[in-house]
Amino acid sequence: MITHDIPQDELEPMWLLNQYRAAEVHGAGVILRLSRLADSLQLRNDLSRHLRDEAVHAWLWTKAINDLGGDIVEVDEPYQTRLASHFGIPRTLDEMLALTWVSERRGVEQYVEHLDVREIPSVIRRTLRGIIKDENWHVSYIQEELERRALADRKVQDIMDRALVADQRAVEELKAEEAAVGAQPGRVT
């Protein structure tokens, strides 16, 4: 919820940090659903660890927003919601894994881009550094799982390709929204 009486410069960092927080909260819900569908012990174990990470990341963003004096606001359409709207409702474990894979890849890309910004508060820099290692592992284990599944079923590669296209469309929408509120990716003052 953006109010018009707050100067735009004050909205930029909080808008972005609330996007990050919402993505982690949403991600935790998805991972919880995925864990119910897991069809191997290794995948169940990995998803349990992933669920823990998502919850911790949501807390870290909440803490960073609070430490910076910002407010936690609901994000009406986080990245994952937009991603799913372009992909369609995932109906299989493979589809959910593919959407999670592209979402995690996008998160790593955004966090690394943000970390490269020179003048960001130390609380944000610490939070990004703490999260990126986990996010890289998320991408890795899900990609390995999808590649294993693609060897057994060629349709899995098609699902991964569909997810990549949906990701690109979701990002285009978010960039348009960032431009509308005056935020620049990674720019936090």
Would you say residue 3 lies in a domain? no
What whole-number distance in Å separates Cα of residue 183 and Cα of residue 118? 16
Q: Residue 167 belongs to what domain range?
A: 8-181
116 pLDDT above the threshold of 70: yes
Would you say residue 1 lies in a domain? no
Would you say residue 189 lies in a domain? no
Residue pointed to by tokens 């994000």: 75
Overall number of domains in the chain? 1
Residues 41-63: what's their mean pLDDT? 97
Would you say residue 188 lies in a domain? no
pLDDT tier for residue 75 given thresholds of 50, 70 and 90: confident
What whole-number distance in Å separates Cα of residue 152 and Cα of residue 98? 15
Would you say residue 141 lies in a domain? yes
- pLDDT score of 10: 41
Name the residue with higher pLDDT: 114 or 78.
Answer: 114
DSSP H helical ranges for the chain: 8-37, 41-67, 79-87, 93-115, 122-152, 155-181
Q: What is the pLDDT of residues 82-99, one digit of tens each?
A: 898 999 999 999 999 999
Mean pLDDT across the chain, nearest whole number? 88
Packed helices 155-181 and 122-152: angle between N→C axes, nearest 10 degrees: 160
- From residue 64, alpha-carbon distances to 6, 70, 122, 157, 188 in Å are 20, 9, 10, 38, 12
Residues 178-188: what's their mean pLDDT? 58
Would you say residue 148 lies in a domain? yes
Would you say residue 187 lies in a domain? no
161 pLDDT above the threshold of 70: yes
CATH number of the domain where residue 126 is located: 1.20.1260.10
1 pLDDT above the threshold of 80: no
pLDDT tier for residue 13 given thresholds of 50, 70 and 90: confident
Would you say residue 73 lies in a domain? yes
11 pLDDT above the threshold of 50: no
Reported residue count of the chain is 189
Residues 10-39: what's their mean pLDDT? 88
- From residue 158, alpha-carbon distances to 98, 152, 161, 162, 164 in Å are 10, 13, 5, 6, 10
Kindly give, in sequence order, each residue whose CB lies less than 8 Å from that of residue 130, ignoring residues fewer than 6 positions away. Answer: 60
